[in-house]
Structure formats: C-alpha cells, structure tokens
Structure 1
Amino acid sequence: MNLQSFLRKSIINKILFITLSGAVVFSIASVVVYFIIFSNSQTYHLVEQLIVYAKNHPFNFALLLGFITFQATLIPIVMTYFLIKKEIIDPLNDVAERMEKISVGELDEELIVDREDEIGNLQESFERVRVSLKVIIEKLENEQL
C-alpha cells in the first residue's frame, strides 16, 4: 500500500501522518540547531552561561524551556487543526446542511462522493437514503393519482 492510498482510506491516517510529519520536522530542526550550537567553539561559552543561569534560576529556566517546547509543538497542532477542519468538520457540515434540505422536502440535489474514508462512507449512505426517499415519494405520488 502506497502513502497516498494509506492517507485516502482513513481520516485518522491523515491525522497520524500530519502529527508524525510535524514531529520529524521538529526533530530534524533540533538536530540542525544542536549541531550548529555544538560545532562552534564560541557557543560553548553561551552554553556554560545557560547552565549557570539554570542553576541560579531553575524556575525561570524551566519556564523558558517550556515556552520553547510549546512553540515547537504549535506546528503539528495547527496542522492537525486545519486537517480536522478540512477533512472532518467541513464535510460533516455539508452533510448536515443537505439533511436540513431533505427535512423540508428538497430531494433533487445529488451529493457527489469523492472520498474513500469514513466521511465518504457517510456521504454514500446519505446519498442512498436521499435516493430511496425520492423513489418512495415518487411511488406514493403516482399511487395517489
């Protein structure tokens, strides 16, 4: 199974991929930053000063490290938010709007399904219900005439 197929089959696969991608990017960036810091002899003095500061002000240093860690985790969090909005929330809102239309008798608008994941399964089921309702209503109208 290739990556594209893996991502199309399930929403959770997309979320996992985005989260892991963010972690990999953060890890690579960390390695680059640490390499730059430790490959330069001038930065050892800065590191020594940080250690002294950490010993003298442990709470402030812990806050600084927490802030840096928080900033680093924002990338996968934001990416995951937009993925969930685009892949889950927006399609569910679309289905809900179409359900509202059906509740008032508008059965002509077809729902085009172009997904293979859980939302696509929901859309397919919804479309079958719409078509079934339309057929049932047409049969009932024809019987009354």
Structure 2
Amino acid sequence: MEQNKKSVLTVISLIVLGGSVIGSLFVGILVYFLLSSSGVSDALLKAVVSTVIIQIAFLIPVFLIRTMVDKYIVSKIKDVSKALQEVSTGNLDYEIKVEGNDELTELAESFERMRISMKTIMDKLEEGEI
C-alpha cells in the first residue's frame, strides 16, 4: 500500500522558499523605510520592485541547486531504495548500477555485493551444494 509521500527534497525546497519570501519581504520593508525617511518619491513602488528583484535573484540559484541535489543525491537514493524493494521481495537478479565516487555510490556497491552473495548462496542451496 503506497502512501502519498513527500520527497525530502520537496520539504527542504519549501522551507528554503519560505525563508526567501520572508527575507525578501524584510529587505523590501527596510528599503521602503530607508527611502521614505530620505524623502524619496515612490518609495513604496521602489521597495516592491526591489523585493521582486531580490526574490527572482534568489530563486534562480535555489532552482539550480535543487536540480543538482536531485540529480546527484536523490536519484541515487531512489535507485538504492528501488533495489532494496526488489531484493526484499525475492528478486535477487535485480542489479543496481550507480555511478560516482561518493558515499551513496559506496552504499550501492556494498548492497550490490550483498545481493550477489545472497544470490550465490541461494543458487548453491537450490543445487544442494550447501
């Protein structure tokens, strides 16, 4: 039974986006007070424009970082999770192929070695060698 799950990356993204909105609103309020106390006309309009520009400038790197995290981390976790599910249901022929040089790749390689060992033992049991 599959529940409606939220990705960790989605939760982190929502937290970061919430923080960026609060931060840009804070900057916009500060800009408004600084401009209005200096007697600048259209202080509110300039504050709103600066808030929008700050928010857009922040969203671009956040989107790029989220894309990189998804590609290099979350996709590997999903691959290992899928392999765990397959092997736990008895499919010892399911191979996991994760490329890279990090801890997640090492985890996937360790899991693959374990899967191969389990398959070898099961094959020997079926053949009566053990």
1:126 aligns with 2:111: yes
Does the CA-based 8 Å contact 2:87-2:94 persist in structure 1?
A: no
Determine which of 48, 62, 75 is the counterpart of 1:63: 48
Matching residue's letter, 1:134: K
Q: Distance in 2 between matches of 1:99 and 1:109?
A: 9
Q: Distance in 2 between matches of 1:116 and 1:91?
A: 12
The structure with higher relative contact order (CA 8 Å, sep 6+) is 1
Q: Distance in 2 between matches of 1:114 and 1:89?
A: 13
Q: Could you state the TM-score of these two structures normalised by the residue count of structure 2? A: 0.59
Percent of pairs identical after alignment?
33
Following superposition, the deviation at residue 54 of structure 1 comes to 7.0
Does the CA-based 8 Å contact 1:91-1:119 persist in structure 2?
A: yes
Inter-CA distance 89–136: structure 2 relative to 1 (3 Å threshold): same
How do 1:1-145 residues align onto structure 2 when only pairs under 5 Å count?
55-143=40-128
Matching residue's letter, 2:76: P
Inter-CA distance 54–98: structure 2 relative to 1 (3 Å threshold): farther
Q: Which runs of 5+ in 2 are unaligned?
A: 1-34
Matching residue's letter, 2:62: I
Matching residue's letter, 1:90: S
Q: Which runs of 5+ in 1 are unaligned?
A: 1-50
Q: Could you state the TM-score of these two structures normalised by the residue count of structure 1? A: 0.54
Q: Distance in 2 between matches of 1:143 and 1:133?
A: 15
What CA RMSD, in Å, does the superposition of the two structures yield over aligned residues? 2.7
Cα deviation, 1:44-83, whole Å, max 9, x if unaligned, reads xxxxxxx689734545433321211111112211111111
Residue 9 of structure 1 is matched in structure 2 by none
Does the CA-based 8 Å contact 1:54-1:61 persist in structure 2?
A: no
Does the CA-based 8 Å contact 1:114-1:120 persist in structure 2?
A: yes
Task: Choose 1 or 2 for highest CA Rg.
Answer: 1
